[in-house]
Structure 1
Amino acid sequence: MDPSGNLDYLDTQEQEEIIASLERSNAVQNRVWRGVFSLLGAGLALFFLRSAALQARAPWERQYHAHFAGVLSQGTTVVADVSTAGAILCGGLVLHAGSRAVLHRALVAATLLLSLATAAFWLGALRTVGSWRNFWLTMSPLFGILCLYVDHSLQSTTLQINRLRASKYRFKKA
Structure 2
Amino acid sequence: MIMNPHLTVPAAPVCAFFNFIFQQLDWRWLKGTLRNIAVAACLVLPLAMTLQADEPRPNWLPEAIELPADNDVLMDRSIGSSLRMFSFSTEHNTKTLLEDWEEALRLAGYSINQTKGDVLETAIEFSGQGINNAKIVVAPASADGRSTIEIDATLQ
TM-score, normalised with respect to structure 2:
0.33
Higher helix proportion, which one? Answer: 1
Structure index of larger Rg = 2
Relative to its length, the structure with more strand (as a share) is 2
Q: Relative contact order, CA 8 A, sep 6+: which one is greater?
A: 1
TM-score normalised according to structure 1 size: 0.30
